[in-house]
Amino acid sequence: MPDFKAIGGTVRQRAASELRDRIITGQLRPGSRLDLDLITEEFGTSRTPIREALIELSHEGLVSIAPRSGITVIGITWEDAVDNFAVLATLAGKAAEWTAARITPDELAELRSVADAITGSADVVTANWRFHRALNRASRSPRLLTFVRHAVRAVPSNYFELFPEQEQRSLAEHAALLDAIGRRDGRAARLIAEEHVLHAGEALGEWLQAREREQLTAP
């Protein structure tokens, strides 16, 4: 979960982050066309960094760029968002599996303490994020991490602050996961991690679905 609230250094990164969020949150509707010069004007910069930000989003499947023709928002439906979370769950499962196989005793101890730090933390969201980051990193797979990054980017940036009520179940799942990793049971770790993330995805799906109904009712 990189770039978490980190609004990057370069104009390009900031623009990509901002535009991504507008698409993911539905401010920019699928099918709508984007005017490069208009965005340029809004951001008060030149076209180059905006253009490059949009190229980035096109690789993420959020917009479609037709050479010398136009830029169209593809966006993600709420079904897509749930799919994305399911993919994230699959990736997290694989990460947990590899972590179980590759983690060192020191890292495991560290991971446990990071997990314990979530309880009673003033900033549960960040603490939780740290846990998952440590977990993923322990997989020692830079390749896998790039995929996790992509999946996390497609999650609305404010999502992780939305469901505090999930906290109890989440903590229990963390404990079970750590237990499996401690036993070096990769298969179990994979299943638990996958379910864990999937649960969060289902909650997101319900929220998005409800919001879509609202928007249809009172546009």
Least separation in angstroms between residue 22's CB and DNA is 16
Contact status, residue 152 vs residue 114, Cβ threshold 8 Å: no
Contact 204, 89 (CB under 8 A): no
Task: Residue 113: name its binding partner from a copy of itself, DNA, none (Cβ under 5 to 8 Å by kind).
Answer: none
Tell the smallest beta-carbon distance from residue 61 to a copy of itself (Å): 4
Site residues for DNA, window 68-87 (CB under 7 A)? 68-71
3-state secondary structure 154-194: CCCCCHHHCCHHHHHHHHHHHHHHHHHHHCCCHHHHHHHHH
Q: Could you write out the three-class secondary structure of 38-85?
A: HHHHHHCCCHHHHHHHHHHHHHCCCEEEECCCEEEECCCCHHHHHHHH
Token representation of residue 212: 């879509």
> Looking at beta carbons only, is 3 or 110 nearer to a copy of itself?
3
Q: What are phi and psi of 63, to 5 degrees?
A: -135, 160
Secondary structure letter of residue 33 according to DSSP: E
Shorter beta-carbon distance to a copy of itself: residue 80 or 107: 80
Establish if 10 lies at the interface with a copy of itself (CB under 8 A).
yes
State how far the Cα of 58 lies from the Cα of 74, in Å rounded to an integer. 9
Structure tokens at 90: 């699959």
> How near is the Cβ of 45 to DNA at its closest, in Å?
3
Q: Output the smallest distance, CB 64 to a copy of itself, in A.
A: 11
Length of the chain: 219
Q: Between residue 11 and residue 70, which ones bind a copy of itself under the rule CB under 8 A?
A: 12, 48, 52, 55-56, 59-61, 67
Q: What is the DSSP letter of 118?
A: T
Q: Which of a copy of itself, DNA, none does residue 49 bind (CB under 5 to 8 Å by kind)?
A: DNA
Task: Check residue 216 for interaction with DNA (CB under 7 A).
Answer: no
Q: Which of 29, 41, 42, 46 binds DNA (CB under 7 A)?
A: 46
11 binds DNA per the rule CB under 7 A: yes
| Phi and psi at residue 70, to the nearest 5° | 180, 165
At its nearest, how many Å lie between DNA and the CB of residue 63?
10
Positions that interact with DNA (CB under 7 A): 10-12, 34-37, 45-49, 51-52, 55, 65-71
Positions that interact with a copy of itself (CB under 8 A): 9-10, 12, 48, 52, 55-56, 59-61, 67, 74, 76, 80, 83-84, 86-87, 90-91, 93-94, 141-147, 150-151, 154
